[in-house]
């Protein structure tokens, strides 16, 4: 069975909110707030929880950027767009080293050693730059 990973792209003033990973395997790499679903959790609940845990912000999911299903991997990754509705930056330093707004141009210039899941992250950054998004209703029909 495939693992479901949910991620969130939060844009503001030409920048994207990114987290710097603390885990050894991906240490110091930048990533979108994201993670695996907990048991019994919907993709929407999981996406909001991951943002709260990794950044301190409460968000409203506004649309979907991408659904990525890798045939040779065990993960399906769903990435949402969101707006901040409340909170301040706070995070568990065992999971995240830093949280900051990074310009889209800086993200486009990051190397595979700086940006986690380099190829798929660059696709999401490109879509975010071009304001590609799909209404949540598309996936709600599939889920409910």
Q: Classify the C-alpha dihedral 52-56-62-64 as positive or negative.
A: negative
Count of CA atoms in the C-beta half-sphere (13 A) of 1: 3
Query: Whole-angstrom Cα distance, residue 35 to residue 53?
Result: 10
> Roughly what angle, to the nearest 10 degrees, separates helices 43-55 and 136-143?
120
pLDDT of residue 75: 87
Average pLDDT score over residue span 110-127: 93
pLDDT of residue 144: 45
Domains recognised in the chain with CATH numbers: 3-143 (3.90.79.10)
Which percentage of the chain shows pLDDT scores above 70?
96
Quote the distance between the C-alpha of residue 83 and its chain's center. 13
pLDDT of residue 1: 66
**Residue 100: beta bridge partners?**
18
Query: Whole-angstrom Cα distance, residue 74 to residue 72?
Result: 7
Average pLDDT score over residue span 97-122: 96
Q: Which residue has the tokens 């844009």?
A: 11
Longest dimension (CA), the chain: 39
pLDDT of residue 77: 93
């Amino acid at each position: 069975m495939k693992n479901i990973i949910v991620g969130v792209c939060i844009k503001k003033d030409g920048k994207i909110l990114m987290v710097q990973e603390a885990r050894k395997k991906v240490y110091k790499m930048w990533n979108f707030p994201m993670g695996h679903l907990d048991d019994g959790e919907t993709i929407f609940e999981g996406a909001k929880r991951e943002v709260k845990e990794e950044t301190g912000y409460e968000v409203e999911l506004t649309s979907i950027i991408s659904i990525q299903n890798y045939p040779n991997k065990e993960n399906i990754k769903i990435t949402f767009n969101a707006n901040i509705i409340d909170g301040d930056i706070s995070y568990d330093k065992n999971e995240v080293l830093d949280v900051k707004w990074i310009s889209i141009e800086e993200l486009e210039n990051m190397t595979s050693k700086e940006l986690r899941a380099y190829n798929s992250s660059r696709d999401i950054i490109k879509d975010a730059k071009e304001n590609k998004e799909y209404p949540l209703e598309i996936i709600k029909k599939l889920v409910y």
